[in-house]
Amino acid sequence: MPSLLNNKKSVIALTFIAVFTALLLLFSNLSLPNVLLSSLLLLLLALSFIDFRLAFLSILFLRPILDLSVHNIIFSFGDLQINILSLLGILMIILAIIFIFLGKFDWHNLKQLHSFYAWVIFLFLGIISTFNSFYFSESLKEILRFFSIFAAFFLGASLLPSAKNLTWLIKVIIFSALPPSLIALFQFINKTGLPENGIYRVFGSMTHPNMLAFYLLLAITLAVFLLLNLKRTKLEVYFYSLLSLFYIFILFLTYTRGAYLALIIIFVIVGVSKFKKFLLVAFLAMLFVYALVPPIQTRFNSIFQSDPYGSVSWRFNLWRDGLEYFQERPWTGYGIGTAEKIISVKRDFRLGPPDPHNDYLRVALDGGYPLLASYILLLLSFFGAIISSYWHESRPRLKNFFLFFLAFGVAVFTMSSGDNILNDTALQWQMWALAGSALACARLKPDLSA
């Protein structure tokens, strides 16, 4: 049996892990939670040298569970504070780099995806905007976050380019929503969620109810896709039916109006396009819940009511101010990742939180017209690729997946005009990993084993 040290890849892996460990020990805050979380990252790093797919899926599964660890600062350099989520994002990027040099990287397959080039343009302009940033440390963190999202897309396309692997990814995402949902159920029972106007909004392991709501939206979309595309005799149909109902129940408890609307959009698109019986059942079920739960009635109705003190009016005032700040630097912006900072500096804190609550305004403030145009190009490439794949796909199950994914994309990017969805890293990782895997799968010959 050959020695581990005689294997060049093993030597590189051990050296890299040793250096990474030394940096953690040298600069980190060695509290018990940080030691445990850092140990988990080291295990994932070691796993990335053994099994790329398993490491990638493990990172995707763990990201929503670890979201609340955002305040666990591992180490800091001046204004730059690195928490466990930052390290997990860096690990995602490292995994992509390791795969390029040590894995079976197929450049030909990747360069056929138009979204790849759109990502490159967006990231290039994002990097340029960091040199124009008034808050460099925030810009550096943000551009690394976007690189981690791109890495998820890249790894999805490179590691999971088959129908069988896509199914595995779908199931990992569905089950990754279970731990946050169980925590949210505990918050509902014990009334330990986020108090707001007499209700308690659950947030699970996420940092805000809206983030949990939109993450559940993806899990619900995928679970419904599986149960409608499985054979009726399979026990899985009942399992995914119950899981979908549980996730929808938790989504209602987040009291996130944008997610309510997004769920309706998804069900309408999918139902009108193909599953009309499902649309009827879903519509009656949601109408039943709306009629029986007064807090949901009040929360949903507030979307269409004119209230000068409500959150809808507050959003319009915030966007009006944000557009004024944008007009001060329309071509350069303030630097990627600084939208929240610039609003907090220019706007009275008594007027509410500084989050833009509009992803398009956020991008415009970050990088001006050029970055906004590149982001819109990225979205157009996403929708163009999904629609084209749906139109030309001959495999029924994969074709249906593209329909569900298109519906989810329409719903989420519509709701992005009123929320901070782009800031939800867990959701962005899962969504772009799915996009990479599905689009790469569509370009390959049918996988008869899936």
Q: Would you say residue 124 has pLDDT above 90?
A: yes
Q: What is the pLDDT of residues 350-406, one digit of tens each?
A: 788 899 999 999 999 999 999 999 999 999 999 999 999 999 999 999 999 999 999
Residues with Cβ within 8 Å of residue 397, at least 6 apart in sequence? 163, 229, 450
Q: Half-sphere exposure of residue 192, counting CA atoms within 13 Å on the CB side? A: 9
The residue with greater pLDDT, 333 or 22, is 333
Residues in CB range of 427: below 8 A, 6 or more apart: 211, 214, 215, 218, 412, 421
Name the residue among 114, 121, 108, 115 with its Cα closest to residue 158: 108
Report yes or no: 122 and 378 within 8 Å, Cβ to Cβ.
yes
Q: What is the pLDDT of residue 444?
A: 74
pLDDT at 269: 93
- pLDDT tens by residue, 20-44: 655 555 555 556 566 666 667 767 7
Mean pLDDT value across residues 102-108 = 76
Spell out the long-range contacts of 371-378 with Cβ–Cβ below 8 A and sequence spacing 24 or more: 371/122, 371/125, 371/126, 371/129, 371/333, 371/336, 374/118, 374/121, 374/122, 374/125, 375/122, 377/118, 377/121, 377/122, 378/115, 378/118, 378/119, 378/121, 378/122
Per residue in 202-222, pLDDT tens? 999 998 999 999 999 999 999
Q: What percent of the chain has pLDDT over 70?
A: 84
Place of tokens 């001060």: 328
Domain boundaries, the chain: 1-105, 153-442
CA–CA distance from 395 to each of 170, 225, 287, 391, 449 (Å)? 17, 15, 34, 11, 13
Predicted model pTM: 0.89
Strand partners, 76: 81
| Residues in a beta bridge with 81 | 76
Closest CA to 292 of 304, 300, 303: 300
